[in-house]
Structures are given as C-alpha cells and as structure tokens.
Amino acid sequence: MRRVSLSVLGGVVGILFFLPLLWVVTNSLRPGSETFAHLNPLSWSTFFELRPTLRNYSALLSSEIGRATLNSILVSVATVAIGLAVCASAAFGLSAFQFRGRGLVFGVVVLSFLVPFDAIAIPLSTMFRDWHLTNTFTGLVLPGIGNGMAIFLLRQFFLGIPTELVEAGRLDGLNWFGVFRWIYLPLSKPALIGAGLMLFLFQWQSYVWPLLIGTDAKHILGPVALSNLQGQNFADYGLVFAGAVVLTVIPLVVIAGFQRYFVQSVSSSGLK
C-alpha cells in the first residue's frame, strides 16, 4: 500500500515536470497558428497531436535558428576538442611531476573556478572588444577551453595512475609527451569523457557570453537566436518550439549516450 502511494506520488511529480516539455514537443508538430487553440478549455488535445506535421522542422532548416544551431554545434565541438587537449595536458603537468610551486599552480586552478564566469563576462567582453574578437568563432570558443573544474577532475583521475607504469614507459624510451599520449590518455577514457561532457554543456548552455560577443547572423548561437525570434511581435511559435526541441534534444542525446560518465562527473565534481 505504501509502495503504491509512493509510486503514485512519484508519477504525479514526474508528469508535472514533463508537461511543459510535452507541450513544447506537441506544438512543434502543429502549425504555429494553432499554438493557443487547444488551451481553453484544456483537454487531451492540448498535449497530443493526432495529425502531426514536420513542417516546422523543415522551415527550421532555412531559418536563422537552423544556422544558429549549426554554429552552436561547431562552437561546442571545437571547445570540447581544444579544451580537452588543454585541460588534460595541464592535469598531466600537475599530477606526473614533482616541482616547486605545484601547490601554487593548483591554487590558481581552484581559484579560477571559484570566480563565476558569468560575473566576469562583462569585463571580459570589453577586453575582447579591444582585441577585435567580437563576432568571431575564436571569441566564442576561447572562454570555454580553460576550464578549471575539468582540470581538477582530470587531475584527480591522473593521480591514481601508478608511477611504475610511467617508469616502465620512460625506460622503454618514451619522452614525457609519449608518456602523456600513450600511457595517461588511453587509461583515462572515463575521466576524459566526463570532462568533455562538462566542457560541452558549459558551451551549449551558455547565453550571457554569446549574447555579448556573437550577435551578427554568421556567429549567432542557438539560444540567442531563439530568444531573438521570441522577442518579435509576430513570432511563429511553431518554429520557436521546433527550435527549442532541437536545442534540447542534442544535449539530451549526448547526455544519454554518456549517461554513466555524466552522473560520475556530476557527483565527483561536487562531492569529492
């Protein structure tokens, strides 16, 4: 009996959280002119569409949001690739060597993620303006690649790699880059995926920075384009909702694909 009521309670909460997304998906499958047609009175047709059409999605392809979504993908993929190289190499420097000032360097890394990025986005954007990096992909990607949290996470993992392996590699004639490339990286796939997810989500979810730095049609990112469209008086809500679905489904697929590592990276970044 207790289990049944707990299950019902869980179901009610789960469905309440899901309803807004369901409504968005349903309306992405019907013409924008019908968005508000099924709300008064509320009925099953509010949340289900019997004659779904993909017209909003095909319109998306030729719209600004379509292009902005491609930009988001480009920026996020570049951030993950470059950011992983930069962060993993730093974590290797911090964990494989004994040197004076190691504590200090580690302190700088920790300090860098205690300063919230959004808070310094405005001073940083004035610097980027002076360096002519506004409306460039470089300007959009750069702030994402030096992620103190990702360095921290990778360092924790690297510290667990036994020194005997490194010594054996050195005896076999590997230089330090070889040790990094052929011993550390292959052993650290889970940590690298976790850090990569962190870099990806940071970039995919960012809004303040792309709003400050990428506003022309060539460099606008998905969330900014979507909010621009919404701000217009005659917004086509079918298009808005189709864009919202695409911008949600892409990270969802990535998270679902790496689910195990996502929970790992979330809980280790917080608790360890």
Partner 1 sequence: MSSRQERKGRQGLIALAFLAPALLCLAVLRIVPAISAVVESFYSESLLRGGRVFAGLSNYGDLLASKDFRQSVGVTLLFTVLVNPIQVVVSFLLAVLFTQKAAGSRLWRTLVILPIATPPAVSAVIWSVIYRPDGLANGVLDRLGISAQPFLTSPSQVLPSLIVLLSWIGVGYWMLFLIAGIQEVPEEVREAALLDGAGAWRRMISVTLPLVRRPLAFVLVADTVSNLLVFAPVQILTKGGPNGNSNLLMYDVYNRAYALGDIHVAQAEVVILVALTLAIVAGQFRLLRGDQ
* Contacts of partner 1 in 175-214 (CB under 8 A): 176, 180, 204-208, 211
* Residue 159 interacts with partner 1 (CB under 8 A): yes or no: no
Span from 48-56, 106-114, 166-174, 187-195 in contact with partner 1 (CB under 8 A)? 106-114
Q: Are 180 and 150 in contact (CB under 8 A)?
A: no
Which tokens belong to 244? 């919202």
Helix axis angle, 117-130 to 137-145, nearest 10°: 140
Residue from 61, 122, 168, 217 touching partner 1 (CB under 8 A): that is: 122
Residue 55 or 235 having the CB closest to partner 1: 235
Residue from 44, 51, 103, 116 touching partner 1 (CB under 8 A): that is: 116
* Residue 108 interacts with partner 1 (CB under 8 A): yes or no: yes
Three-state SS for 100? coil
- How crowded is residue 117: how many other Cβ atoms within 10 Å of its Cβ? 17
Span from 5-13, 49-57, 157-165, 192-200 in contact with partner 1 (CB under 8 A)? 5-13
Sign of CA dihedral 83, 84, 85, 87: positive
* Residue 11 interacts with partner 1 (CB under 8 A): yes or no: yes
Span from 51-59, 137-145, 163-171, 187-195 in contact with partner 1 (CB under 8 A)? 137-145
Which of 188, 193, 187 is CA-nearest to residue 266? Answer: 193
CA distance 22 to 47: 6
* Residue 223 interacts with partner 1 (CB under 8 A): yes or no: yes
Residue 146 or 190 having the CB closest to partner 1: 146
Residue from 1, 50, 171, 271 touching partner 1 (CB under 8 A): that is: 271
Which of 87, 93, 96, 101 is CA-nearest to residue 202? Answer: 87
Span from 48-56, 143-151, 160-168, 189-197 in contact with partner 1 (CB under 8 A)? 143-151
Residue from 152, 158, 237, 258 touching partner 1 (CB under 8 A): that is: 237
Binders of partner 1 among residues 22 to 81 (CB under 8 A) are: 23-24, 35-36, 39-42, 46
CA distance 26 to 205: 23
- How crowded is residue 77: how many other Cβ atoms within 10 Å of its Cβ? 13
